[in-house]
Amino acid sequence: MASSDLSKYRNIGIFAHVDAGKTTSTERILKLTGKIHKSGEVHDGESTMDFMDQEAERGITIQSAATTCEWKGHRLNVIDTPGHVDFTIEVYRSLKVLDGGIGVFCGSGGVEPQSETNWRYANDSEVSRLIFVNKLDRIGADFYRVVKQVEDVLAATPLVMVLPIGIEDEFTGVVDLLTRKAWIWKDEKNAEDYTIEEPPADMADQIEEWREKLIETAVEQDDDLMEKYLEGEEPSIEDLKRCIRKGTLQLDFFPTYCGSAFKNKGMQLILDAVVDYLPDPTEVDPQPEVDLEGNETGKHAIVDIKGPLRALAFKIMDDRFGALTFVRVYSGELKKGDTILNTFTGKTERVGRMVEMHANDRNELDYAHAGDIIAIVGMKDVQTGHTLCDPKNPATLEPMVFPDPVISIAIAPKDKAAAEKLGVALGKMIKEDPSFRVETDDDSGETIMKGMGELHLDIKVDILKRTHNVDVIVGEPQVAYRETITQKIEDSYTHKKQSGGSGQFGRIDYIIEPGEPGSGFNFESTVTGGSVPREYWPAVEAGFKKMMGRGVLAGFPLLDVKVNLFDGAFHAVDSSAMAFEIAAMGAFRQTIPKAGPQLLEPIMKVDVFCPDDNVGDVIGDLNRRRGMIKSQDAGATGVRIKAEVPLSEMFGYIGTLRTMTSGRGQFSMEFLHYLPCPRNVAEEVIKEVKEREAAAKK
């Protein structure tokens, strides 16, 4: 389909909390738009979008699948994003390539911890959104309560566009406030079997009250309309829609709908809203271009078919067809057989096959242009976040920043056959997920996987087993500790080696002191009078920097150290950069143990949601885990507890929480900062490391 009218394009993502029903909502959208004839259910394990075995089994979407469909002459590119916290990197990545989104909330669960994180990401990325309150057929569902939560918890303004008719088992349809008409669905199986009629008489007052709210909020976007409205003139539906669109694009408010995706009720209105209120690719602020160092050039990738090619690889997937690189084209056009440049690697690649995806089916394409989301088959060196552009006119779209992993596990192949496959499989997995890292431990030769949380690594082990048929033995999870120093030490070190021929000589006088938290490694030289010539300063810095990777307590990397070189001595013949570098390395080994070295541990920001009855247990348990309780907020369905807890104490937390709350508790966590370990904990960690190293040497 080569339509080039960009105003008819909508690139949207659906994001929400685990179990709010976003995959089912996506399914229904595809069914209504004629893409699937039979819609699968997640709990039967056969939904179209979740086609990885792990997804179907766990009922969670791990990878964001992208699919294309049509509604009312508009082309919708829908990206289903994961809701689970360990995959928020996926959400973040998907949001970057979207123009608008639908935030799905559960009618009974409301705004849950994870939805808050995702909402915050979407705010950061300035994505316009609609809100869909799903599962109104569930026991305990309350549309008005969720609307209130959106205001209170997310601090957003929901613009209520429809009201539900009946709740829980009685939920039959919705009233469209703009037209004052009721949409009633008779048959739960068939979304297209509905009637539009007059709304129930007992809702008349409620409809007028909410309609008035809607108009008052909408006309704020247009001063002339507002004046007329205040004088008693009712704005036309066209004018209102125009105002709603403007406010939605500016993120002033979020049009809010409701329904039940599972029961096929209310979906058409949300699709209409996508077309009516979400932006097309040209209405979004264009991506800034940067040079190779990451500095903004002041230019932007303007969405224009005639412009130079700019595209961003936002996802790599390896499926049964080979490696797929999902790409969002921001400007220019892409044809089969074109040569494109990857600015990250500096290499060019030929575009062999291009396909548009529909979950796991694909249609071959010869051509794509600005605004499209497509997949390219068989790209070699492309990773997530790389920019693909015109070799004659290169530019990079902003580089993506990925957080450092905080948890690692050692894995070992079960047998020789697995050993051969393991390397290839891990290589593919790193390409797909930049927040996942793999290293080899130099001492023990073990393969170490690093990631963002326990579940993240669990799933990786699972993918190894199933997708790549590699059986591995998994070690205990290890926390990424760091080290630092607590005292300021002034010291001197001389490196001297004179044994015939040219010798080596370098003396440095220096101060080592603790740096500001989060400052990493800082080096400055205040040498005057040439006692250490300027050309040797970089060598001294390099020597210290080299040693920062391995601390003296237990060999963890060092953080937040400041070194000041203030004096020293050199020899006209025997001094070299090498000699000063070795002097710095010797100085590190000599001084750091004296500077009060200290172990640091990663502290996580933990957000727990639990029922009222279990609050005491949950807080008691967090305290036992050395947590600091920061706040507790009572909500309608339970209590939100925010705490800061050391990662080492959070292993197996999900199991404990579920047991305490009979399965109703949920939590999310993200890395916050490093803090000093209490002495007893530090001693334990150092002892463990020493024992591990001794065992590895045997």
Domain CATH for 455: 3.30.70.870
Same domain, 120 and 105: yes
Same domain, 360 and 415: no
**416 contact partners, CB below 8 Å, separation of at least 6:** none
Closest CA to 358 of 20, 19, 29: 29
Same domain, 132 and 266: yes
Same domain, 471 and 488: no
Q: In this predicted structure, which of 10-24, 242-256, 651-665 has the lowest mean pLDDT?
A: 10-24
Instruction: State mean pLDDT over 468-473.
Output: 80
Closest CA to 154 of 235, 273, 46, 253: 253
- How many Å apart are CA 659 and CA 657, to the nearest integer? 5
- How many Å apart are CA 403 and CA 645, to the nearest integer? 18
**Residue 467 is part of which domain span?**
408-428+438-477
pLDDT at 637 (0 to 100): 61
| Amino acid sitting at position 192 | E
Q: Is the pLDDT of residue 86 over 50?
A: no
Same domain, 551 and 530: yes
Q: Is the pLDDT of residue 255 over 90?
A: yes
pLDDT in tens, 399-435: 656 667 778 888 888 777 777 788 888 887 777 777 7
pLDDT in tens, 584-621: 888 888 888 888 888 888 888 888 878 778 888 888 99
pLDDT at 18 (0 to 100): 57
Position with higher pLDDT, 448 vs 48: 448
Annotated binding site for GTP: 16-23, 80-84, 134-137
Annotated binding site: 16-23, 80-84, 134-137
Instruction: State mean pLDDT over 319-325.
Output: 67
CA–CA distances in Å: residue 677 to residues 387, 454, 546, 602, 613 = 41, 21, 24, 9, 33
Other C-beta atoms lying within 10 Å of the C-beta of residue 390: 19
Q: How many CA atoms lie within 13 A of 650 on its CB side?
A: 26
- How many Å apart are CA 112 and CA 149, to the nearest integer? 10
Same domain, 314 and 423: no
**694 contact partners, CB below 8 Å, separation of at least 6:** none
Same domain, 49 and 78: yes
Q: Is the pLDDT of residue 311 over 60?
A: yes
The token pair at 655 is 């199991």
- Which CATH number is 554's domain given? 3.30.230.10
- How many Å apart are CA 417 and CA 412, to the nearest integer? 12
pLDDT at 444 (0 to 100): 63
- How many Å apart are CA 460 and CA 473, to the nearest integer? 13
**282 part of a folded domain:** no
**218 part of a folded domain:** no
Same domain, 271 and 343: no
Instruction: Indicate the number of domains in the chain.
Output: 5
Domain end (from 579, 594, 609): 594
pLDDT at 51 (0 to 100): 42
Same domain, 589 and 625: no
The token pair at 376 is 């390219």
Q: Is the pLDDT of residue 140 over 60?
A: yes
- How many Å apart are CA 407 and CA 630, to the nearest integer? 24
Domain end (from 594, 617, 635): 594
The token pair at 494 is 């001389």
Domain end (from 575, 594, 613): 594
Per-residue confidence band for 17, with pLDDT thresholds at 50, 70 and 90 = low
- Please state, for a pLDDT cut of 90, what percent of the chain lies above it: 2
